[in-house]
Amino acid sequence: MTKLWKSVSVLWAVGMALGVSSLALGATGTGPYYAMPSWDQTLPAATRFIVLTNMNSEAVLDRETGLVWEQSPNTSMSDWNGASFHCVRLSKGGRKGWRLPTIQDLATLIDPTQSNFTLPPGHPFSNVLTSSAYWSASTSADNAALAWVVLFIDGSMFTNFKSGIFPSLAWCVRGGPGVDPQ
């Protein structure tokens, strides 16, 4: 029986080693590339964000949250339904499965140590329009006609009419729980 357990342990260890090495392929930067969220840590942008070359450098892994973000979000304004539809249909880095982020997802990109609460210095994202709001999938608890948005020029979060009276942008994400109605 002991020999059987030793054999199983060795096979498990070999399998884990092969699995970890295959997960690391296709990314740039140092350290483990697989999504190991570090919610209890604050990582500097240089090690927090990993541009994923196995996704044609069109996606960025956030090692603090385990979420994968578009490296360059869409720059077309739309209403909330249009933004949600855009993310659901999106194929970036050869992958589907994108969604509109929750307000909590978007809030993780705000750096409260900066005087204006913007994205962390040294982040790898491009085409982030800081003067425009980004839709979240989160509906207002007070009014179903409103959804939460984030403005990255100052980190403010507020509600906006889903109807598009004031159109906003979509920054799609993969991973995490999301919300039901999208």
Whether residues 136 and 110 share a domain: the answer is yes
Instruction: Answer yes or no: is 78 within a domain.
Output: yes
Instruction: Answer yes or no: is 87 within a domain.
Output: yes
Residue 181 has pLDDT above 60, yes or no: no
Whether residues 68 and 18 share a domain: the answer is no
Of 2-6, 45-49, 76-80, 108-112, the one with minimum mean pLDDT is: 2-6
Domain holding 76, by residue range, is 35-174
With CA atoms as reference, report the closest residue to 149 among 91, 78, 94: 78
With a pLDDT cut of 70, the percent of the chain lying above it is: 77
Instruction: Answer yes or no: is 179 within a domain.
Output: no
Whether residues 58 and 1 share a domain: the answer is no
pLDDT bucket at 43, cuts 50 / 70 / 90: confident
Q: Looking at the DSSP assignment, which residues form a beta bridge with residue 49? A: 62
Residue 107 · residue 93 · CB < 8 Å? no
Whether residues 13 and 63 share a domain: the answer is no
Q: In what order do the strands lie in the sheet with 133-139?
A: 133-139, 146-151, 156-161
Phi, psi of 139 (to 5 degrees): -85, 145
d(CA 137, CA 114): 26
Whether residues 6 and 71 share a domain: the answer is no
Q: Which CATH number covers residue 106?
A: 3.10.100.10
pLDDT bucket at 33, cuts 50 / 70 / 90: low
Number of domains in the chain: 2
pLDDT of residue 89: 97
Instruction: Answer yes or no: is 181 within a domain.
Output: no
Whether residues 14 and 42 share a domain: the answer is no
Whether residues 53 and 138 share a domain: the answer is yes
Q: List pLDDT tens digits, range 132-166.
A: 999 999 999 999 999 999 999 999 999 999 998 99
Whether residues 148 and 125 share a domain: the answer is yes
Q: List pLDDT tens digits, range 99-135.
A: 999 999 999 999 988 888 889 999 999 999 999 999 9
Residue 3 has pLDDT above 90, yes or no: no
Residue 4 has pLDDT above 90, yes or no: no
pLDDT of residue 21: 35
Q: CA quadruple 19, 53, 103, 78: dihedral positive or negative? A: negative
